[in-house]
Chain A
Amino acid sequence: MRGGALPLLAWACLIGALMTANAIWTGDTIQIESFAGALAVLLLWALALTASNRDAARRGAPPAGERSRPQRIPDLSTGAVGAALGVAAAVFGLAFGHFLIYFGCGLFALSLGRLALELRAEKEPRE
């Protein structure tokens, strides 16, 4: 399946089988919930992959000689780094001081703006 979901589905089936065995054997709620959480994440991933690439799923595997399509990718991203540091500062602020929470949230918001600009620039046609 060219959509990429097959390994995820195969693995999710294995986890599902082990979850069922666990449920029958132990009947432990928190254990089943943990398994079910992992299974749900995997199935959502597989669903998202399949939904975003339905044509590929129908088409099957590509021939070995098929040429790739060019894809635009960014060189750098200050927005991504800023967003990560914003989240980290806010979390650090929980223990270190509340001013850092405000600083972190502000940095995060600014970085999201920066990310939006980066994404818009990426979509503009090349000169």
Chain B
Amino acid sequence: MNVTAPALPTAPRLSGWLGAATSTDHKRIGLNMILASLAFFLVGGVMALMMRTQLATPDTRFVSDETYDALFTMHGSTMIYLFVTPMAIAIGVYLVPLQIGAATIAAPRVALAGSWTWLSGGLIMQSGWLTEEGPGRAGWFSYVPLSNSSNTPGVGQDLWTLGVILAALGMLLVAACVLATILRHRAPGMAVLRMPIFTWTELVTALMVVGAFPVLIVAMALLYAERMGAHVYMGYTGAIDYQDMFWFFGHPVVYVMFFPYLGAAAEAIAVNAHKRWFGYKAFVASMLAFSALSMSVWSHHMFTTGGVTNQYFAFTSTALVVPAGIEYFDMIGTLVGGALVFRVSMLFALTFFVQFLIGGLSGIYLASPVLDYQAQASYIVIGHFHYTLFAGSIFGFFAGVYHWFPKVTGARLREGLGRVHLVLLTIGTNMTFAPMFFLGEKGMPRRIAEYPEHPGWATLNLVSSIGSGVVALGVAAFLVNVVVSLREREPAGDDPWLGHTLEWATSSPPPRHNFDRPLPPITSYAPLLDLRERAAEAEGAHARRLAAGSGGLGPSPAERSP
């Protein structure tokens, strides 16, 4: 457990972009991944806007059918492999060493190599747009036999497959470093049950990545071999085997895209409520159970294939509501009796919990095979997972951005622009995704490039498309906020929100080795709150002594009495 570390001149110092690109500082690695993920988010967002333009009215021919297939494939792939998942890990790369009082991440060279492997995979995946046949167009899951070379010919799908392998390998390496950091680099006193909530969410996230991502890499390597002529996934059994392997990764990754944002929202709520997170140990137990259960629910994506035991997966999927319920209960318990301050981070965190609830409740319906047979391949499914991943996770992400931006940059984001951002994003997401439940109920299937005149479809699709434009305005408001806040800086200080955890005990932004001053004693998962409470107790005792006339020279009569 080594935590303080002067750097060694192991290589000549580099400055500028080359220094930033090769730096082994976990904060720089994390920031590089965050910025690259945000760039991919904008790319994926443009694809979504193009799809919604196509679907705004019946019989629109904004893009061809082939381009639409490529758009929904690359939109999903970009958002999952290149934005939400890596962002969840990258935030951990930046924050986890700070939260546990470490000077660096474990195996920083591996983390650096992993970040570049992931970025290379993303660029290779996107390079398919430059090919004659276009990029991958068999969906972000690329089921066999749809994705074999007969049904999806062209080098674009090859590039997609290779890109996914590299991106997954890179994220696996980086997550392994986060895991090793948590397990081996905690500061003295930082026992497992004194780790901050966010660090716990990163721990279970890293566990899922380490357990599930290797299976995706194997599945994709075999898919590439299949496309090169090897007969790997043969017939119906082969197709089911591919789906089993893909979803063994594909469902845990949903929670990889959720837990860290839950942790960010939880930290924002606890700090803005000026209160400890309610039910810490129950929360930790629920995280462990939630993450383990989430490794065993994957075949609910395959209920209608006839190739899986639906009862087992319906049971495990429905069981997820228990740990999820504990988290919501803890959130409410933290709010009750707290001195609430409704900063933008708090508002985003609360919206995250409300909107994720819609995604979660619709998920309970889809966990029932009987209902899933009715809803599968319809817009109900699209509405469900966008409520979990966008209306849910992204709001948790923004809660984290507004919460930790002062720590990373030393400047506060503007609260006014933040509220504009929140309002636009909330209206936009609900306008975009709520109509999808009704479209699904009215029978609109997913993955269609155009649709005929049909009672009720046109209006709902138009509302959804307008909503996507409002989402874009919300994202634009966020970008404006970042630019304005960095250009005309409002200095934040080291601890602008009276934070609870160790990252607020260092300067903003933190120095190269994170802590230039001694760490406070770590006696719980909220060491800075402990310090303040002890100081307040001491002040209270002093005041009582003064009031009792002892002049602070000895204990008051009340304190003397047994």
Most buried by B among A2, A34, A37, A38: A34
Bound Cα distance from A69 to B295, whole angstroms: 38
Contact A7 B183 (CB under 8 A): yes
Contact A38 B212 (CB under 8 A): yes
Q: Pick from B41-49, B76-84, B186-194, B341-349 the stretch touching chain A.
A: B186-194
Closest Cβ neighbor of A19 among chain B residues: B296
CB-CB under 8 A from B188, the residues of chain A are: 62-68
Q: Does B355 contact A (CB under 8 A)?
A: no
Bound Cα distance from A56 to B186, whole angstroms: 13
Bound Cα distance from A103 to B448, whole angstroms: 42
Q: Does B214 contact A (CB under 8 A)?
A: yes
Contact B245 A18 (CB under 8 A): no
Bound Cα distance from A124 to B308, whole angstroms: 57
CB-CB under 8 A from B240, the residues of chain A are: 30
CB-CB under 8 A from A91, the residues of chain B are: 124, 162, 165-166
5 new A-B contacts, CB < 8 A, other than A35-B296, A71-B104, are: A8-B207, A15-B295, A62-B1, A64-B523, A80-B24
Q: Does B377 contact A (CB under 8 A)?
A: no
Interface size of B as a range? 35 or more
Q: Pick from B107-115, B365-373, B484-492 the stretch touching chain A.
A: B107-115
Bound Cα distance from A53 to B185, whole angstroms: 12
Bound Cα distance from A68 to B7, whole angstroms: 16
The chain B residues found within 8 Å of chain A, CB to CB, are 1-11, 13-14, 19, 21-25, 103-104, 108-110, 112-117, 120-121, 124, 127, 155, 158-159, 162, 165-166, 170, 179, 182-184, 187-189, 191-192, 203-204, 207, 210-212, 214-215, 224, 240-241, 244-245, 248, 288-289, 291-293, 295-296, 299, 308-309, 311-312, 316, 513, 521-523
Closest Cβ neighbor of A118 among chain B residues: B10
CB-CB under 8 A from B158, the residues of chain A are: 94-95
Bound Cα distance from A31 to B127, whole angstroms: 34
Bound Cα distance from A6 to B170, whole angstroms: 26
Contact B9 A75 (CB under 8 A): yes
Interface size of A as a range? 35 or more
Also in contact, A11 and B288, with CB within 8 A (given A25-B309, A34-B245, A65-B189) = yes
8 A Cβ contacts from A76-94 to B: 76-81, 83-85, 87-88, 91-92, 94
Contact B24 A77 (CB under 8 A): yes
The smallest C-beta distance from B124 to any residue of chain A, in angstroms, reads: 5
Most buried by A among B4, B21, B115: B4
